[in-house]
Structure 1
Amino acid sequence: MPRPQPANDTAHDAESVAALHALVMQSLDDDQAQETITIPLEGKSSIADHMVIASGRSSRQVASMAQKLAQRIKEQTGRNARIEGLPVADWVLIDAGDVIVHLFRPEVRSFYNLERMWGFVDMPVAGTA
């Protein structure tokens, strides 16, 4: 039977998740990601607490954003983020543990439409509302 965590450990975990999420959002903003949204997953899925979806103007920008994000995560948290899809860079997944990031070229993003799959169709895009 799992041991309950003390309240201060839970608060520390929430702070570290919030800090990781803020790092991801700042990195994407610094690298001029487009149409960045966050889908809160806490309590809805065990895979992560946040899913971030953003677009880059080209495969080259998508690859660059992914590599810089992974590097920043390593520098700031000591975690090694896993990256999938980097060679083609049409859709790159960065798994940072508590935050999952999907970076797309715009055409690929509209084709897969993850926002609709997760029920966030009518959410305003960050920075446009």
Structure 2
Amino acid sequence: MKEETILTSQTEAAVTAVHRAGSVVDQPQPSSEVLLDHILTSLADDKAEDIVQIDLRGKTAIGDFMVIASGRSTRQVSAMADKLVERLKRDFGRVARIEGKDTGDWVLIDTGDVIVHIFRPEVREFYQLEKMWLPAEGDGKNN
């Protein structure tokens, strides 16, 4: 009986500590548009090149927006990704998933509502990701 009381009080203390330590759980989440603006600002501040935003609403369930940008080197691509993830956590309490940061050729950041791809220019040209999501020129569809 005494052991149960100790475990219960430890569990309650842990839950209280989590709620006090930043209140990430209770923090209101930004709209996808606010998140997109924050991401675009972060990338622009870090000198990303050829930033493209693609509205995915109504096209797929993977997210509301996709952002594609380039960095001049593997070091810049990795640094921009690191800073973006840090800013999202600091400003919104949002933990983003990140893939490819170690190589720095193509980094994918999944924020939930906005998917971010940061490429080196050569890699971006090779995959031409924009062509898969943007309407072809002259097809009459507006984006």
Structure 2: gaps of 5 or more residues: 1-27, 138-143
Structure 1 Cα separation of the partners of residues 69 and 51 of structure 2: 4
Runs in 1 of length 4+ with deviation above 2 angstroms?
Answer: 119-122
**CA-to-partner distance for each residue in 1:73-102, whole Å, 9 max, x for gaps?**
001111100000011010000000100000
| 1:1-129 map, 5 Å | 16-120=31-135
RMSD: 1.6
Structure possessing the higher relative contact order (Cα contacts under 8 Å, 6 or more residues apart): 1
Structure 1 Cα separation of the partners of residues 60 and 135 of structure 2: 15
Structure 1: gaps of 5 or more residues: 1-11, 123-129
SS of 1:52's partner is: strand
Letter in 1 for 2:53: T
TM-score of the superposed pair, with normalisation by structure 2? 0.73
TM-score of the superposed pair, with normalisation by structure 1? 0.81
Letter in 2 for 1:44: K
SS of 1:67's partner is: helix
Structure 2 Cα separation of the partners of residues 74 and 119 of structure 1: 29
Rg bigger for which structure?
A: 2
| 1:117 CA drift (Å) | 1.4
SS of 1:42's partner is: coil
* Pairs aligned (count): 110
Identity percentage of aligned residues: 55
